[in-house]
Amino acid sequence: ATYSPPNNGGMAEVFLMDGSVQSSHREVEGRVQITDFNNAPEEDGVRVHRQASQCDGHGTHLAGVVTGLDSGVARGAGVNLVRVLNCQGKGTISGALAGMEFIRATLLTHPVDAVVV
């Protein structure tokens, strides 16, 4: 039998602090809002093979875990990307704090039931 949760999270907004998200991915298409916030540090010049094409892999994975069409735990929730990591997966404490301040300011002007990941 297929599991059917009693609540799909449709009233919740999730703020995802991560790198990029491939918002056109079939699992999350139409569920991810890319915010204007971007406090990712510069790349350090060390390139990993195929890194450019994998820049949005981690964020897309997390967005899928949260609200993925087939695999999401809260399929009805909206995801708001707050970019604090670069393509190498690196971030700074000040960037994370600035991201949290952005989320706080957003919630003060547009109150919703929110979760920060």
Domain presence at residue 5: no
Domain enclosing residue 22, as ranges: 12-116
Q: For 23-36, how does the pLDDT look when each residue is reduced to its tens digit (9 = 90+)?
A: 999 999 999 999 99
- Does residue 1 lie within any of the structural domains? no
Q: Residue 105: inside a domain, yes or no?
A: yes
Tell me whether residue 3 is in a domain: no
Grade residue 48 by pLDDT with cuts at 50, 70 and 90: low
Per-residue pLDDT of 74-88, as tens digits, reads: 999 999 999 999 988
Residue 56 lies in a domain: yes
pLDDT of residue 93: 96
In a domain, 37, yes or no: yes
For 83-99, letters b (16+ CB in 10 Å) and e give: bbbbbbeebeeebeeeb
Highest mean pLDDT among 7-16, 44-53, 99-108: 99-108
Which pair of structure tokens corresponds to residue 46? 């060390």
Q: Is the pLDDT of residue 102 over 60?
A: yes
Rounded distance between C-alpha atoms, residue 67 and residue 14, angstroms: 9
Average pLDDT over residues 56-82: 91
Total structural domains within the chain: 1
Residue 44 belongs to domain with CATH number: 3.40.50.200
Task: Give the separation between CA 82 and CA 85, rounded to whole angstroms.
Answer: 9
Q: Identify whether 74 is part of a domain.
A: yes
